[in-house]
Amino acid sequence: MAVKIRLQRHGKKNAAFFHVVVADGRAPRDGKFIEKIGVYNPQTNPATIDIDADAALQWLLKGAQPTDTCRAILSYKGVMFKRHLAEGVRKGAVTEEQAQQRFDQWMAQKESKISGKRDSLKAERKSQYEARMKAETAVKEAKAAQIAAKATASVSNVENSDEPAAQASETAE
């Protein structure tokens, strides 16, 4: 039996999210599965990935084959690197402590990249918001100036039309 680590689609049309499952390769995409090991939501930016790394690693060491997308997700979360380090420990190339140290160092770098992306997205949203507010303020001030100009023009027209009537009443007396 070929065991696969793959995505199982859930959610509405144009708003999909996925469960990462371990399933028989012959089972349909959204059908029967052996174990659910995580969730992947591509709708958020950056994408939300919640994976049980230990379970995924155990399945990989047992011989489960990830699909291309799941391989990318597992690689992003560090499971594939952890598998690589586990193979190195098994072969005697590195010790368990060295492997854990390398993995912790890699995770720290990865977390800094992710937090940097989140910060840049937040700063971009803030600058876009400020630009929109500045544009709205300019439009608002232009409309206020236009209204004020109309009001002064109508007041001056009323004053000009009252003067001839006053002059006419004075000449009539």
pLDDT score recorded for residue 77: 92
Nearest to 21 by CA among 2, 6, 43, 42: 6
User: Which tens digits make up the pLDDT trace of 4-16?
Assistant: 999 999 999 999 9
pLDDT score recorded for residue 81: 92
pTM of the model: 0.69
CB atoms within 10 A of CB 5: 27
pLDDT score recorded for residue 17: 92
pLDDT score recorded for residue 151: 82
Task: Give 164's pLDDT tier (boundaries 50, 70, 90).
Answer: low
Beta bridge partners of residue 148, listed in sequence order = none
Task: Give 133's pLDDT tier (boundaries 50, 70, 90).
Answer: very high
User: Which tens digits make up the pLDDT trace of 61-117?
Assistant: 999 999 999 999 999 999 999 999 998 988 988 888 999 899 999 999 988 988 888
Contacts of 135 (CB under 8 A, 6+ apart): none
Residue 92 backbone class (left: φ over 0; alpha: ψ -120 to 50; beta: rest): left
